[in-house]
Amino acid sequence: MKIHLTAGHHRKDAGATYNGRKEADETIKLRNDITKKLREKGVEVWNDNDDWDLNRVITEIRKFSKSDDIVCDIHFNAGGPTATGCEVFVADDANAAELALAKALVDTIASTLIIRNRGVKREKDSQHKKLGMMRPTGLNVLIEVCFISNKYDMQQYDAFFDLLVEETANVLANRV
């Protein structure tokens, strides 16, 4: 059993930007630190390459992922300055294990950062209606850590970053 942990945005796609911060930079940093923590716990982790686009990431995961693997994609939301909170997306046809993992992640992240828990949502409820990262084999979850456009969310993210890394790694490690 392995965790495929990806940064939702990379050098080729900065994602959301706000107040001088880029989603790509934040997702890469968070992915790298969670990966380090998971490896310290003896968990096998695969990461994407920061120069790959989404299609390449999905292609590479599909080469190796198995049904009991976790495929976890990290993102930051963006919206108006008052939009706040954490949410985790799953496939429209998510199974009980995916739903349980998503709930554990969203509850942990929201309580760690002390921000609104926006809950577990189906991909049809996302702005895109269909998410490519819901297609590889495995337990698929897409985390929206917090709103990069919300000053409070990002203050909480910065203040509790190390704890967020530890707690997120614990949730993922407990599923392997």
Range of the domain at 149: 3-174
Mean pLDDT check: name the lowest of 67-71, 103-107, 153-157: 67-71
Domain count, the chain: 1
Residue 19 pLDDT grade (very low, low, confident, very high; cuts 50, 70, 90) = confident
By DSSP bridging, strand 86-90 and strand 139-147 are antiparallel
User: What's the confidence (pLDDT) of residue 12?
Assistant: 74
Q: Is the pTM of this model over 0.85?
A: yes
User: What's the confidence (pLDDT) of residue 134?
Assistant: 63
| Cβ-proximal residues to 59 (8 Å cutoff; 6+ apart), any chain | none
Q: What is the pLDDT of residues 63-85, one digit of tens each?
A: 989 999 999 999 999 999 999 99
Q: Quick one: how far is CA 11 from the chain centroid?
A: 17
Could you tell me the CATH number of the domain that includes residue 43?
3.40.630.40
